[in-house]
Amino acid sequence: MNAPDAYRPLLPQVAQRHVPDSLIEQLQAHFGARCSTGLAVREQHGRDESSFDVPPPAAVVFVQSTEEVAEVVRLAAAHAVPIIPFGVGSSLEGHLLAVQGGISIDMNGMNRVLAVNPEDLTVTVQPGVTRKQLNDEIRATGLFFPIDPGAVASIGGMTATRASGTNAVRYGTMRENVLALEVVTAAGEVIRTGTRARKSSAGYDLTRLFVGSEGTLGVITAITLRIYPLPEAISAAICSFPSIEAAVRTTIQIIQMGVPIARVELIDRHSVRAVNRHSGLALREEPLLLMEFHGSPAGVEEQAQTVQQIARDFDGRDFEWALTPEERTRLWTARHNAYFAGVQSRPGCRVITTDVCVPISRLADCLLESVDEAEASGIPYFLVGHVGDGNFHFGYLIDPASSTERETAEALNHRLVERALRLDGTCTGEHGVGLHKMDFLESEAGEGAVAVMRTLKRALDPLNIMNPGKVFRL
Amino acid sequence: MNAPDAYRPLLPQVAQRHVPDSLIEQLQAHFGARCSTGLAVREQHGRDESSFDVPPPAAVVFVQSTEEVAEVVRLAAAHAVPIIPFGVGSSLEGHLLAVQGGISIDMNGMNRVLAVNPEDLTVTVQPGVTRKQLNDEIRATGLFFPIDPGAVASIGGMTATRASGTNAVRYGTMRENVLALEVVTAAGEVIRTGTRARKSSAGYDLTRLFVGSEGTLGVITAITLRIYPLPEAISAAICSFPSIEAAVRTTIQIIQMGVPIARVELIDRHSVRAVNRHSGLALREEPLLLMEFHGSPAGVEEQAQTVQQIARDFDGRDFEWALTPEERTRLWTARHNAYFAGVQSRPGCRVITTDVCVPISRLADCLLESVDEAEASGIPYFLVGHVGDGNFHFGYLIDPASSTERETAEALNHRLVERALRLDGTCTGEHGVGLHKMDFLESEAGEGAVAVMRTLKRALDPLNIMNPGKVFRL
């Protein structure tokens, strides 16, 4: 890894915990070749999309069942050794780094769709199922799972980080779409939370306590999700705007009027330029909104007309419709490639990604001030946003050899988060806290609320073995 | 209270905890006449809509601010005395009964709407605000708060029980509509959870931990809610069916087709007869569905046509539309009066209300078997249901002097819950656990999950002073 000096100050100073040889031997006796201590495997499981430099876990266990997860947890607990569940490694804030050492549990062998209940619009999956796999497997039912964070993430990882993405403006996030869970606790016991009923007032909402807990309270081993009828009609549109402000004000108006838009994504001119180059497109290099409408043919038409009228009021132009699945796929591929296109626009760079979310009325203020600041910094960047939810991401493209650039980007992120909190927002809309945002969480929630979180953690994981060193300092 | 012998076996055998005179003196010194020990006041705060016979609390404190709540909690904590928040007393499962003695905190003095943010579709209220008051106060903004549990409940009580009601099929429950909370913890500290942002991945979801915790983890002192644009068009309809089965199958079809219906309520023929007498209506005395559609004029028309087609397929008849606000109010008043109309249909009776919720595909099985059982029992009953969510309520009308009837009704409820759990459902869709459903919660969630709930309770409330003796046995 490059320029470690620039990174280390961000990491909490905690000691690596001892992983006794006897534990590794026990795991190998139990799992055979599915317990690996090879450096390459450990290194692959010891990093995600963040840029922290942390030693890899001591071993990786490739589990295939809930009972195997429980067995790993019980063995690790007997030695007070940390456990870190691993999905596809697409987390952005260092969630799965072995900051205190320990064992990585690779969940990808648990990749079965356990039950599809089309008549109830529910599905139950193992955590290693990816959102893409899930949608492929249920396509014939005429149903789909809408949450789309961009990466081909695992459902387990998405549950653990309370993920959302482009469709959340209409369908909600993992918070709204997880109905029930199976979880292995820190004591190695298997519990079930929730039921397939759409609603319940039966006791504490353990389901939502585990959703977004980032592996720090237990290992999620099965997830029951809401799914939705594929809309009778879908249409997508792209519209350019003379300024980011015009695009944002259009979005605000759409939301405030209650248009049930399925997606409304902002892409700034830097992103458009990068996407054009990356994907061979010829989009006008101006801020644009990418939108999608779901419903009956008449309903989609009605939404589209309302939105076109609003966009015209803010000088939106080049309204272009994608009516066929192929055209829509092309548009959304462009959006999903924005991150990698952005990264490639500065060869050799490393990207620092931000993730704030504010009430929609504060979006223009938060976003425009942050754009001014990014422009003034001289650091190349791109900007994309799930603006219908008030959520957006800057990608600052820094030279990894330059600690100045790193510090500038971190300072920009710091001011961005402060601004979002001042405007009643949150320090992370969908990426989670991980390692990077522990101080921000304390600024946002206050010491009292974080103290409550710590109390919960200590109560449910007294040995502090479940993904320790994340979310908050104990 | 009548026939106490029939009730006592349902109550857990716990001792009343000692409330020292010195605590009452401290409260009276602090709150003056707003701390009452008068028997009538205590008795009014020591009962709800359940039928348990429990001694009233030792005193009632009428608070006016968060700081006053914190003061009561700190004083009570110093003596390890229980605290029970009181809203309007409309809970159905004994939530606010002082089973271990202690102090009732009357929240009705905290009845201000603290902030309305129409552009963000959010509102922040004190817990004593009722849903009716809230909608009256925000009417001029063109927005409304949809959750409607029937009773003119307080928002604090609705939050504490994770309430829902007729509109939940479209707008969700309190789980989906509470964005943020202010809570006084068991230590008398004030914390805030969540923000006004529509989504967040910032740490544990404390908001949803307190939603539905029935006062056992802290006292809720402010609630930030999502609100919605009043639909451009609303229409309501009533439709009779030859059988409950036909009405239920119509509902299932509506939901499975993804029609965004706002309300779909089942009323059985017993309820219709009672409502006709109570409200002077002349509805056909057959099972009927009461429906409401929200959207644009064209969208509402489209939904209505789809639903009419489905209803025709199941021999629905007498489709009657209520297009004006007055006609709609008449229809919904009839629905809301169903409970009281049902109770009045057997003079001198007491009602035992049930509350299960199952996945929609199981609704017909669950409901029809339960109807057969109720008919066979000989106990008069009525049946209403938020059937779009798979949630329904029997009201068994028992002679309070007859322990046989009481036992029969309890046995019916027991079998109903067992059936719902067997069909992947929950023992309470919206009323909560309270005193009555502690055993059912254990059957539903399993010992392991309830053990986790107990661990959370002990960690956050080590003295067990927050509404003790509810939800589960410690």
Domain ranges of chain B: 4-106, 113-229, 233-422
Residue B142, burial from CB neighbour count under 10 angstroms (0-12, 13-18, 19+): exposed
Binary contact (A444, B212; C-beta < 8 A):
no
Q: Could you please state the CATH topology (level 3) that the domain comprising B113-229 is classified under.
A: 3.30.465
Token pair 């219709």 in the structure block, residue: B272
> pLDDT value at position A10?
52
CB pairs under 8 A between A and B: 275
Here the tokens at position A398 are 């820094």
> pLDDT value at position B165?
93
As a whole number of angstroms, the distance between CA B304 and CA B291 comes to: 9
pLDDT at A446 over 90: yes
Q: Could you please state the CATH topology (level 3) that the domain comprising A346-437 is classified under.
A: Alpha-Beta Plaits (3.30.70)
The number of residues making up chain B comes to 474
Distance (Å) from the C-alpha of residue A110 to the closest C-alpha of chain B? 22
> pLDDT value at position B364?
94
Here the tokens at position A131 are 């959102």
Crossing angle for the helix pair B297-313 and A297-313, nearest 10 degrees?
A: 170
pLDDT at A5 over 70: no
Which of B463, B432, B384 has the alpha carbon at shortest distance from B174? B432
Of A15-24, A168-177, B48-57, B297-306, the one with minimum mean pLDDT is B48-57
Is the minimum CB–CB distance between B157 and chain A shorter than 8 Å? no
Consecutive H or E run containing B252: helix B244-256
- Of chain A residues 306-335, which have a CB less than 8 A from chain B? none
3-state SS assignment for residue B421: helix
Mean predicted confidence (pLDDT) in A163-178: 97
Higher pLDDT, A12 or A422: A422
As a whole number of angstroms, the distance between CA B30 and CA B216 comes to: 24
pLDDT at A97 over 90: yes
Quick check: B239 and B288 in contact, CB under 8 A?
Answer: yes
> pLDDT value at position A7?
37
Is the minimum CB–CB distance between A90 and chain B shorter than 8 Å? no
As a whole number of angstroms, the distance between CA A90 and CA A96 comes to: 9
Crossing angle for the helix pair A438-460 and A403-422, nearest 10 degrees?
A: 70
> At A9, is the pLDDT very low, low, confident or very high (cuts 50, 70, 90)?
very low
> pLDDT value at position B298?
94
Q: Which residues of B touch A362 (CB under 8 A)?
A: 120
> pLDDT value at position B148?
94
Q: Which residues of chain B have pLDDT under 70?
A: 1-13
Of B122, B191, B450, the CB nearest to A449: B191
> Can you name the residues that pair with B378 across neighbouring β-strands?
none
ipTM for the predicted complex comes to: 0.96
Mutate to test the interface with B, among A167, A174, A201 (most CBs of B within 10 A): A201
Is the minimum CB–CB distance between B228 and chain A shorter than 8 Å? yes
Question: Which CATH number is B4-106 given?
Answer: 3.30.43.10
Is the minimum CB–CB distance between A55 and chain B shorter than 8 Å? no
Mutate to test the interface with A, among B116, B143, B161, B201 (most CBs of A within 10 A): B201
Token pair 């803010």 in the structure block, residue: A314
Mean predicted confidence (pLDDT) in A6-35: 82
Mean predicted confidence (pLDDT) in A14-37: 95
Of A199-213, A313-327, A378-392, B111-125, the one with minimum mean pLDDT is A313-327
Is the minimum CB–CB distance between B471 and chain A shorter than 8 Å? yes
pLDDT digits (tens, 9 = 90+) for B16-41: 899 999 999 999 999 999 999 999 99
> pLDDT value at position B52?
82
Is the minimum CB–CB distance between B348 and chain A shorter than 8 Å? no
- Of chain A residues 111-130, which have a CB less than 8 A from chain B? 117-122
Binary contact (A205, B252; C-beta < 8 A):
no
Is the minimum CB–CB distance between B192 and chain A shorter than 8 Å? yes
Binary contact (A429, B228; C-beta < 8 A):
no
Q: What homologous superfamily does CATH list for B233-422?
A: FAD-linked oxidases, C-terminal domain (3.40.462.10)
> pLDDT value at position B12?
57
As a whole number of angstroms, the distance between CA A176 and CA A168 comes to: 10
Token pair 């939705």 in the structure block, residue: A228
- Of chain B residues 383-442, which have a CB less than 8 A from chain A? 389-391, 424-433, 437, 440-441
Q: Could you please state the CATH topology (level 3) that the domain comprising A231-344 is classified under.
A: Alpha-Beta Plaits (3.30.70)
Distance (Å) from the C-alpha of residue B214 to the closest C-alpha of chain A? 8
Mean pLDDT of chain A: 94
